[in-house]
Amino acid sequence: MQVTLQLALRPVWEEIDALGGKCVDFLKAEGLNADAQNALSMVACELAENATKYGHFNGEKEIVKVSLAVQTSAVTVTVSNPVTREEADSLSVLDHTIQWNRGFHDPFQAYLERLRDVSAQSLLSTESRLGLVRIAYEGQSTLDFYVGADGILVVSATFPFDTSGGGQA
């Protein structure tokens, strides 16, 4: 059986600040341990931040959708946001980062490599691409994404779940 928390956020930082607590409360009620609660809350917040930063919002009805689905063997965090047709066609940076991350046997090694890259960047640089790598390492999650025909970018992170102990498998 699947239990799901679904939230609709305005693309503003205050909404993301409140997201973490809502995720922890939901995951705690579902019996996940504190480590899993914190990891998955971080995953949801990182993905919602990216959606807010990189989404294309031109009206009050456009929102960031966040979903946490607790299943028998995994928890999946899904975040969606609108993108323009041009953005949908040029999501190569997102794809490259996810594929690069998957190329490492151990997410910790990818995290260290990305930290080295970020530390070598100019102080004026505004893009770290550390959030997705952090999700894979600290959140112990596998990332994926797709863009629907409706111009909605959907990014998911799947966390393997051990039903016996409420934590990672």
- The residue among 53, 55, 17, 77 whose CA lies nearest residue 128 is 53
Q: Is the pLDDT of residue 31 over 90?
A: yes
* Exposure string for 152-167, b = 16+ CB within 10 A, e = fewer: bbbbbbbbebeeeebb
- In this prediction the pTM is 0.89
Mean pLDDT, range 9-20, rounded to an integer:
93
| Domains of the chain: residue spans and CATH | 3-168 (3.30.565.10)
Do residues 118 and 128 lie in contact, with contact meaning Cβ atoms separated by under 8 Å? yes
For the chain, what is the radius of gyration of the CA atoms?
16
Q: Is the pLDDT of residue 127 over 80?
A: no
Q: Is the pLDDT of residue 38 over 90?
A: yes
Query: What integer pLDDT is reported at residue 169 of this predicted model?
Result: 52
Q: Give the C-alpha separation, 75 to 32, whole Å.
A: 10
Q: What is the pLDDT of residues 50-74, one digit of tens each?
A: 999 988 988 767 899 999 999 989 9
Do residues 69 and 3 lie in contact, with contact meaning Cβ atoms separated by under 8 Å? yes
